Chain A
Amino acid sequence: MRFSIGESAMTELLIRLMRRPQGFVGVALLALIVAACLFGPALAPYAPEKIDFLGRFRAPGWQNWLGADQFGRDVLSRLMVGARSTVPLAVIATFAGSAAGAIIGVGSAYLGGRTDEAIMRTNDAVMAIPGLLMALLLVSTLGNGSGNAVIAIAVAFAPGMARVTRSAALNVRNQDYVKAAIARGEGAPWIIFREMLPNVMAPIVIESTIRVSFAVMLFATLSFLGVGAQPPASEWGLMVADARQYMHQAPWGLIAPSAAIALTAIAFNLVGDGLRDALNPKDER
């Protein structure tokens, strides 16, 4: 219940999160991914761009633990280095999208009435454009590349987050402590930031965590389609796209980055669901 209150509460939350097997697995996977992002390049056995023509399509073994690709580049090393060009960007995109969505959502709920209705109807209308299509349209306008893909994903996520935040905020808006603050004559900043936002944070954090997994997938998809990260980056979606041509000779080149994407997505899904349980202790007698 007590999120964002202090260090002890954070520790307590982590303990609650780790108590269930899903939460434990999620946190463990996430730790692994964070480690890969931080130390990947230092720990990788080979340089990711190192071409070795003798080792083309080498099967997984002691030389290349996860095999080698069409240029003899070590798949494991490319994955470890590639973590940096996939996961942090997805997190940044989600964060930006969530922040924008949260501001729209809380603001709309606070304003209420017709303004709220107009904002949310328009927001829902924007959601009629599928996320991937929106991202593609934006990237085609802004130009290919990782940075623009981040912006595109953030924009594509904002309406969904606005909707989630708004329904949570509307619920909080109707609580008596907010009414008490209004009746007391508190100013709008205090009501929005001190009374409402701390109570809306939990759903925002949960939803954002789960959405990071979509962002990872969306980012990889954009790279796969050739409009996200550009070669020779070892972004995971791009690795899958490269390896497709050679899937007969070297299926590991395809399977390894696919598994990395899936595991990352699963990790964020598990942690998000775990947070939902940990922040909602309603089943305790």
Chain B
Amino acid sequence: MSLAWFVRRLMLMVYTVIVVSILVFAITQILPADAAQSLLGENATPEALSALRAKLGLGDPTWLQYARWAGHVFTGDFGISMRTSLPVGPEMLMALSRSLLLAVSAILVTLAVAVPLGVVAALRQGRLTDTGVSLIAYLGVSLPEFVTATLFALLLADTLHWLPATGYVSPLENFGDGIRHLVLPVLTVSVILVAHVMRMMRSETLDVLKSDYIRAARLKGLPERTVLFRHALRNALLPVVTIIALDVGYLLGGIIVIEEIFAIPGIGRALMVAITTRDLPSIQAGALIMAATYAVTNTFADMAYAFLDRRIRYD
């Protein structure tokens, strides 16, 4: 991995965050919300309002407001919530940590389930196992999170009473209970990911098995086991890094719905609350943090891929 490539990739990440911040700021600017009004409440005098507006710079041109906001964000200051009058930054980062627990667990579950199933389906192409896996995959990618969440809750919590239906307990405070509360949301958010990764894994494996170098390995007289594990699997597994990284986008979107349904105080729920209450600084912070998470994940995934697969061309 050349240093120049590394630096370029990091610059691309910074560019992504800048574009996202402009976009988020632009969209939220159009929101019909008056920061001064919400800060001072309904009974504020017009004088107080205009004084605060001037102080907040609400009359300034948009680009200046953006520059001021971006400058503050750069130093870690996301502003004061209009709803709670508390600083937005620490609250959002706390929420993000809870969401990350959910997201990382979901990715681990996905890897553990989807990769072996995808490989097995490819090896038994056209047979019953393959058809079964394909059917599950079709069903999985066709169920929106709110449907899966509701059906799982109906079955595992309300009917069988195996798991708590909603709520969040930090695993740091009560490990067992924390995990029990995590199972349903993780299961739900994993369904689409598992289905998608399984399909990709299947087609990657099939492609690799058709390649010339697999044929060459067979014709060298290597046993099938060696051909499969040493030559085929390794190459089929590599793209999964990229696939998972791109799926983080779905994952983050899914988290918004799932945290809402299961009442988990993560960043998704914080965003939903911010959107329904038109809490501008919180919307901006939440959206930016989410997109930045995606950008950072993808950057790391690209670097991991470049490290694992030396063929990558640095352009």
Chain A residues within 8 Å of B, Cβ to Cβ: 121-122, 124-133, 136-138, 140-141, 213, 217-218, 220-221, 224-225, 237, 240-241, 244, 247-248, 251, 254-255, 258, 261-263, 265-266, 269-270
Q: Is the CB of B138 within 8 A of A269?
A: yes
Q: Which of B47-55, B81-89, B105-113, B141-149 contacts A (4 or more CB under 8 A)?
A: B141-149
- Determine whether the beta carbon of B253 is less than 8 Å from that of A265: no
B141 A265 Cβ-Cβ under 8 A: yes
Would A262 and B27 be within 8 Å (CB), given that A121-B15, A128-B291 are in contact? no
Q: Which of B19, B143, B151, B290 contacts A133 (CB 8 A)?
A: B290
Contact B272 A225 (CB under 8 A): yes
CA distance A258 to B147 in the complex (A): 6
Instruction: From known contacts A121-B15, A122-B19, infer whether A258 and B24 are also in contact, taking CB-CB under 8 Å.
Output: no
Indicate the member of B249, B250, B254, B294 with the most A CB atoms within 10 Å.
Answer: B249
Complex Cα–Cα for A76 and B144 (A)? 21
Q: Which residues of B contact A125 (CB under 8 A)?
A: 15-16, 18-20, 295
Are A221 and B145 in contact, with the CB atoms below 8 A? yes
- Kindly identify which residue among B15, B249, B257, B260 contacts A127, using a CB–CB cutoff of 8 Å: B249
**Interface of chain B residues 97 through 149 with chain A (CB within 8 A):** 138-139, 141-147
Which residues 278-299 in B have Cβ within 8 Å of A in the complex? 278, 283, 287, 290-292, 294-295, 298
CB contact between A237 and one of B12, B146, B283, B287 (< 8 Å): that residue: B146
Contacting pair B287 A133 (CB below 8 A): yes
The 5 sampled A-B contact pairs (Cβ below 8 Å) are A128-B292, A128-B294, A224-B257, A258-B151, A265-B144
Tell me the minimal C-beta distance from B45 to chain A in angstroms.
29
For residue B154, CB closer than 8 A to chain A, the reply is: yes
Judge whether A130 and B253 touch: CB under 8 Å: yes
With A125-B295, A129-B23, A221-B145 known, 8 other A-B pairs at CB within 8 A are A125-B19, A129-B291, A131-B250, A136-B272, A141-B27, A224-B257, A244-B150, A254-B150
The CA of A104 and the CA of B262, in the complex, are separated in Å by 39
Q: CA separation between A71 and B132, bound complex, in Å?
A: 39
Q: Which residues of B contact A251 (CB under 8 A)?
A: 154
Q: Does B4 contact A (CB under 8 A)?
A: no
Which A residues lie within 8 Å of B250 (CB)? 130-131
Chain B contacts for A122, CB-based, 8 A: 19
B147 A240 Cβ-Cβ under 8 A? yes
Residues in chain B near residue A255, CB distance under 8 A: 151
The 6 nearest A-B residue pairs measured at CB: A132-B253, A265-B142, A125-B19, A130-B253, A217-B144, A125-B16
B252 beta carbon closer than 8 Å to chain A: yes
Query: Which residue among A128, A140, A262 has the maximum number of chain B CB atoms within 10 Å of its CB?
Result: A128
Name the one of A128, A247, A269 contacting B20, with C-beta atoms under 8 angstroms.
Answer: A128
Quote the shortest CB–CB distance from B191 to chain A (angstroms).
11
Interchain CB contact (< 8 A) of A269 among B28, B142, B249, B283: B142
Q: Does B172 contact A (CB under 8 A)?
A: no
Instruction: Point out the residues of chain A lying under 8 angstroms from B278, CB to CB.
Output: 140
Residues of chain B having any CB pair with chain A under 8 Å: 12, 15-20, 23-24, 27-28, 30-31, 138-139, 141-147, 150-151, 154, 158, 249-250, 252-254, 256-257, 260, 271-272, 275, 278, 283, 287, 290-292, 294-295, 298
In the complex, the answer to whether A133 meets B147 with C-beta atoms within 8 Å is no
| Distance of A83 from chain B, by nearest CB (Å) | 16
B28, A137: Cβ atoms under 8 Å? Answer: yes
Q: Are B16 and A131 in contact (CB under 8 A)?
A: no
Interface of B is mostly: helix
Q: Check A221–B146 contact: CB distance below 8 A.
A: yes
Pick the contact of B150: A129, A141, A213, A247 (CB < 8 A): A247
Chain A CB within 10 Å — which of B23, B24, B250, B298 has the most? Answer: B23
In the bound complex, residues from chain A placing their C-beta under 8 Å from that of B141 are 213, 265, 269
- B16: A residues at CB distance < 8 A: 124-125, 128
Across the interface, B252 reaches (CB within 8 A) one of A121, A133, A237, A241, namely A133
Docked pose: A128 CA to B290 CA in angstroms: 9
Interchain CB contact under 8 A, B139 and A266: yes
Chain B positions within 8 Å of A130 at CB level:
249-250, 252-253, 256, 290-291, 294
> Shortest CB–CB separation between residue B106 and chain A, in angstroms?
14
Is B144 touching A121 in the complex (CB atoms < 8 A)? Answer: no
Q: State the Cβ distance, B107 to closest chain A Cβ, in Å.
A: 15
For residue A244, which residue of chain B has the nearest CB?
A: B150
Once the chains bind, are A132 and B257 in contact (CB under 8 Å)? yes
Is the CB–CB distance between B154 and A247 below 8 Å? yes
- A residues within 8 A CB of B257? 132, 221, 224-225
**Chain B: CB-nearest residue to A127:** B249
- A227 (CB) vs chain B CBs: closest residue: B275
Contacts of B260 in A (CB 8 A): 225
Question: Shortest beta-carbon distance, B168 to chain A, in Å?
Answer: 19
